[in-house]
Structure 1
Amino acid sequence: MPPRLAKRARVSGSGPAMVAPDTHEDKHVVFTAWSKQRGVEIKNVKPAKIPGRGLGLVTTAKIKVGARILFVPEKAMFKPDGSVPHASPQAQLAASAIKACRAADSHMEIWKETWPVDSDFQHSLPMRWPHELRAHFPVSVMQPLLRQEEDYAKDIGAVQDFLAAGNYTAEDFRYYWSIVNSRSFHFKAKGKVGTMVMCPFIDYINHGPSGTTCDVFQRPNGYEVIADRDYVAGEEILANYGAHNNDKLLVHYGFMIASVANEWSDEEDAGPNDTPNRDDDIRLDHIVLPLLTPTVRAQLQDVGFLGGYALLPATNELCFKTQVAVRAMLLTCNEWEYFVENGEDLAEDQSEAVSRFLLHPFHQYWDHAAGEFRTVEDKRDWEEYSSIKNELEMLRMRWLQVTTAIGCYMDMKPGSTT
């Protein structure tokens, strides 16, 4: 395994943080009042600076489980205005946001003042990173990144006439597209077609792993945030953006969460921010698929199990689809079909056989990941890369997660060494 390094400030946290009282910039106070004027209900929470991950929402008083913390009515939401009706929902909302924020009598500027600036996206989103860094991306990061870039290319192509007519630039659209990508919700009022919207104030809430967050509900007339447990004053409240692994969190939101407890901190420092991302996984398609014969691939395709293979750091286990795929190479048809239908082996447990089958390719992947870890760590300390130190740190963190997960899995298997 790569040597454990001295503790560093993490790029993102992963759980409720205790926050000391802080004096805010006026723009957040002004925006809070602005939101309330538009009907947003805000109870016992306020924006605050969260160590290690920017702004978030913290409690200002005790909150009981089940209490309503926030409510954003439909009338307070920002919706697309129909400027580019044939574009994707994301492009429609981004174009409408440009138009609204640039209007002479814009009421959006107060809200916009609380958003990230373009340089924040430049250093956090992989689609904005220097192209030469892609040689060091895990395959599992490149796949969602390429899909994102395909979507963006389609979207900017669809709004060319709109940009020209409004004298807006491609850079303008890219910025608002990134804002919408990270801060939008899907809303469907009763009897109406659903659409992408932005909800004021609720967009302060940071992401947390499944099981650590408040409950966010779409109601017929708006979005509601309900306390998942009792809170004391000064705790951060979190929401779950979706059951995303760290590759997707990095590509779409520009941050990651520890895969396992205490991954980025010492044992004695363990606390709520060390809550692991139980949704994380280490993708294995590029390892497993080349091992499968054409006949096995056809079998897996027929039952919907071709691809989507992963190692789950939270439990140190292979996902079910991986178990199915490897067993297709090892078992008779009857034995394999029994496992697919029942989730257990017909006679003797084949888990060790599955591990032995993957031992060599896992060693190869660990060697590759450890090499990339050392490479990006070295570059992070070079003066010539000082302008992209954050980018290199994020890559270092992801490769550390890969090597840790693969190493832990192999260490538990008979005959494996690292």
Structure 2
Amino acid sequence: MEPHEQLLDWATQQGVQLNGIAPQRIPGRGIGLLATRAIKPEEIALEVPTRCLRSISTVPKAITRKLPNTITVHGLLAADLALDKTAKYDLWNAVCPSPDDLTSMPLVWPAELQALLPQAARELLSKQQAKFVRDWSAVSEAYPNLEETGYRYAWMLVNTRTFYYLNSKLEKRGKDDHMCLQPVADLFNHGDEGCNVSFDTHGFAIKALQPYAQGDEVKICYGRHSGDFLLVEYGFVMDDNRWDEVVLDDVVLPRLSWRQKQRLEEVGFLGKYILDRETVCYRTQVALRLLCCGIREWKRFVDGIDDGEASQGAVNKLLVEMLKQHKAKADEMVEEVGHLEIGAPEQRSALMNRWKQVRSLVGVHISSLEEAEAE
């Protein structure tokens, strides 16, 4: 019997209820949850009772007493996973990704590859690294014999497999620290439009939002995340991500003078210039008009008095120029990564694919803007 089949037997004995789905190994993609029959919208496909969760409430007191109250739930759950020597969760642990499976996460990439990530991904990774360092510092002080590699592996498991969760012990913690682990549900892969996940005091319920035919993979949506977020937080890149976006700060900010940056900061529009699958954000429109318009016209736009129609042509022309610069950067990075030999092949592949996604998204907007100009 395969590990995921043993997990299913164990989980159902614990009260987990599967309705029309079952775990199955998917060639090249690990384990996922497939429909065993036709599933209708609004059908509950999975229920996980509260007693099956691993949360702040289930971490042994012997561990919580040795760690500071300020440690994150993320760090606490990782400590529990890393230190647990009992057989209680053996069947659950057996289907978790191995350390090798997690090498696609930038957290464990060589520094040379990390430095080549797109700007947004680098910023996310920097925050993630700082969070890990804080957690590891607390845990290593309490457990000096625990190896960092083992704890990091447990920490990444928590990072990639937890669900948003709230109970009385979590109410005073920040939203990013409302989390728990749950069996079987952590086998769901990500999809833009996956099942709805909800919870109450009784446990979690995962409800289908669309019909599934027998044999279809049933997914949940991890959130409306960009490709940079999915890569850094989960270690994968996903084509046709409807929520993908590109940060344009690298091509916008260098064009601005010190005084222009000061003006943008004064009105709250300095930085965080985003291009999504539909258009550039309003912040970008504000910044580009500062480069295209006089100050009075720019102020009227910022104040909502001027709709910006008169200056839109100049803004679009400048935007195309900046997007071509960004696309050239993406071309350069794809070329550079293709010649690298550092890191694991899957790490270089993920990095290259992310830059290809950036290039594609930017290229689509360049074409769209140029076609509109030609009309």
Contact 2:327 2:363 in 1 (8 A): yes
Residue 255 to residue 347, structure 1, CA distance change in 2 (3 Å): closer
Aligned to 1:355: 316
1:400 equivalent in alignment to 2:356: yes
How far, CA to CA, are the matches of 1:191 and 1:92 in structure 2?
A: 13
TM-score (norm 1): 0.79
1:37 equivalent in alignment to 2:13: yes
Aligned to 2:80: 96
The CA deviation at 1:145 is: 1.1
Aligned to 2:160: 182
| Partner amino acid, structure 1, of 2:233 | H
How far, CA to CA, are the matches of 2:170 and 2:321 in structure 1?
A: 54
Aligned to 1:62: 38
Residue 352 to residue 49, structure 1, CA distance change in 2 (3 Å): farther
The CA deviation at 1:339 is: 4.1
Matches within 5 A, 1:80-159: 80=56, 81=59, 82-83=64-65, 84=67, 85-100=69-84, 102-103=85-86, 106-122=87-103, 124-159=104-139
| Partner amino acid, structure 2, of 1:410 | I
Residue 191 to residue 150, structure 1, CA distance change in 2 (3 Å): closer
Q: Which runs of 5+ in 2 are unaligned?
A: none
The CA deviation at 1:308 is: 1.5
- SS in structure 2 at match of 1:306: coil
How far, CA to CA, are the matches of 1:47 and 1:339 in structure 2?
A: 54
TM-score (norm 2): 0.88
The CA deviation at 1:340 is: 4.4
| Partner amino acid, structure 1, of 2:122 | M
Aligned to 1:321: 283
1:344-385 Cα distance to aligned partner (Å, 9 max, x none): 953635332112223443333222221221222244xxxx56
How far, CA to CA, are the matches of 2:152 and 2:256 in structure 1?
A: 41
Matches within 5 A, 1:11-410: 26-80=2-56, 81=59, 82-83=64-65, 84=67, 85-100=69-84, 102-103=85-86, 106-122=87-103, 124-164=104-144, 167-189=145-167, 193=171, 195-209=178-192, 212-258=193-239, 276-312=240-276, 314-315=277-278, 317-332=279-294, 335-336=297-298, 339-340=301-302, 345-346=306-307, 348-379=309-340, 388-410=344-366
Residue 322 to residue 192, structure 1, CA distance change in 2 (3 Å): closer
| Partner amino acid, structure 2, of 1:356 | K
- SS in structure 2 at match of 1:278: coil
- SS in structure 2 at match of 1:217: strand
| Partner amino acid, structure 1, of 2:194 | T
- SS in structure 2 at match of 1:189: coil
- SS in structure 2 at match of 1:213: strand
| Partner amino acid, structure 2, of 1:177 | W
1:40-89 Cα distance to aligned partner (Å, 9 max, x none): 12111111223442211111011111011111121110123225233112
1:186-224 Cα distance to aligned partner (Å, 9 max, x none): 322369636421011110001112xx2111112232211
1:292-351 Cα distance to aligned partner (Å, 9 max, x none): 334443343344322211222x22x21222112212333455644554465x95363533
How far, CA to CA, are the matches of 2:361 and 2:78 in structure 1?
A: 38
Contact 2:301 2:308 in 1 (8 A): no
Structure 1 vs Structure 2: percent identity of aligned residues? 31
How far, CA to CA, are the matches of 1:131 and 1:199 in structure 2?
A: 33
How far, CA to CA, are the matches of 1:201 and 1:30 in structure 2?
A: 11
1:270-311 Cα distance to aligned partner (Å, 9 max, x none): xxxxxx211110111121122233444334334432221122
How far, CA to CA, are the matches of 1:407 and 1:158 in structure 2?
A: 46
How far, CA to CA, are the matches of 2:299 and 2:204 in structure 1?
A: 44
Q: Which runs of 5+ in 1 are unaligned?
A: 1-24, 259-275
Number of residue equivalences: 360
- SS in structure 2 at match of 1:36: helix
Residue 86 to residue 352, structure 1, CA distance change in 2 (3 Å): same
| Partner amino acid, structure 1, of 2:70 | H
Residue 109 to residue 347, structure 1, CA distance change in 2 (3 Å): closer
